[in-house]
Amino acid sequence: MKKLLTSVAVLAVCASGAALADTSGKKIAFSNNYAGNSWRQAMLKSYDQITKKAVEDKVVAAADVFTTADQEVPTQAAQIQNLILQGYDAIVINAASPDALNGAVKQACDAGIVVVSFDGVVTEPCAYRVVVDYEDMGKQEIEQMKALHPDGGNLLEIRGLAGTSIDDAIHKGLEEGVKANPQFKIVNSVTGNWDQTTAQKAVATVLPSLPDIVGVVTQGGDGYGAAQAFAAAGKPRPTIIMGNRQDELQWWKEQKEKDGYKTWSASIAPGVSTLAFWVAQQVLDGRTDIPHDLLVPYLAFTQDDFEAVLPTIPEGGVASKEYTLDEAKKAIEANIK
């Protein structure tokens, strides 16, 4: 009878989606395809900060980070296959491609490994995805442009890392925003890799051939580089959408103090990597109610509130938010509801 009651209790816990297992012996790996800009560096710093404490507190046995030396899909696929062989219980992944890694991800799932993708997500159904509505962010950039330039005008687009789900989604949102607001026209598009230096060079290359530009729509990490390129070319300063980087917001503050310059800033918080970690830990802990797609808001700043956050961002850093386990549980619950 006692055994029957225990079984009933376990079934009740399973039905509620509550955690059942001890994860202190579990190992989680982080497969990251790129670290060459301030956002990715902040992402890794946030991840290290949270996971190091999780290991010290014996929540998990390991939370190792593996960053590929290039941005190529085959390299990251091979990395994932190596992590499978090394016996990790879960893999958190910032993917180089939404679909080209699906084969390696499926191999991991088939081996009983939990896979949680974020930022650059994968489409393989067995994986979990911590996602931001990047399409909406792209649309919102055009809405912000409309508020500042109701008559419209020519826009320059700076894209991110080619082939990633983020780049595709923001670009799609921008296209939809322009379609809904035909007074705007994207007259050229350059690749900035979410990096100020790369963006500055790319913008400088096309500026001589461009008509007058009223605005620059971006993906983050490229706003300050664009501003520098326009200044160096002696071109009129356009409205540049920012991406929550410290140097961008500092430049915005200086321009605002000089003549009231107005813009908008938005990006995914680098600390979303810590939410992906906790989602992996919770799945390993036996939770059965976690949706495979979890939506989290992007972080945006307006003309009225960006100056308040600026002093909290390290020089060369990005506005961020790290998730505690309790906050991660609340984010999961919000998606369930």
Q: Are 171 and 202 in contact (CB under 8 A)?
A: no
| Both structure tokens of 212 | 């007058």
Nearest CA-CA partner of 158 in 123, 208, 192: 192
SS (H, E, C) 165-234: HHHHHHHHHHHHHHHHCCCEEEEEEEECCCCHHHHHHHHHHHHHHCCCCCEEECCCCCHHHHHHHHHHCC
* Lookup: tokens for 231: 């200044």
Distance, C-alpha 302 to centroid of its chain: 20
The pair of three-digit structure tokens given for residue 31, joined into one six-digit string: 């497969």
Alpha-carbon distance 35 to 32, whole Å?
8
pTM: 0.82
Are the beta carbons of 165 and 9 closer than 8 angstroms?
no
| Structure letter (DSSP) for residue 126 | T
pLDDT in tens, the chain (337 residues): 333 333 333 333 333 445 457 999 999 999 999 898 889 999 999 999 999 999 999 999 999 999 987 888 999 999 999 999 999 999 999 999 999 999 999 999 999 999 999 999 999 999 999 998 999 999 999 999 999 999 999 999 999 989 888 999 999 999 999 999 999 999 999 999 999 999 999 999 999 999 999 999 999 889 999 999 999 999 999 999 999 999 999 999 999 999 999 999 999 999 999 999 999 999 999 999 999 999 998 999 999 999 999 999 999 899 998 999 999 999 999 999 8
Inter-residue contact 125 to 98 (CB < 8 Å): no
User: Structural domains in the chain?
Assistant: 22-132+269-297+320-336 (3.40.50.2300), 134-267 (3.40.50.2300)
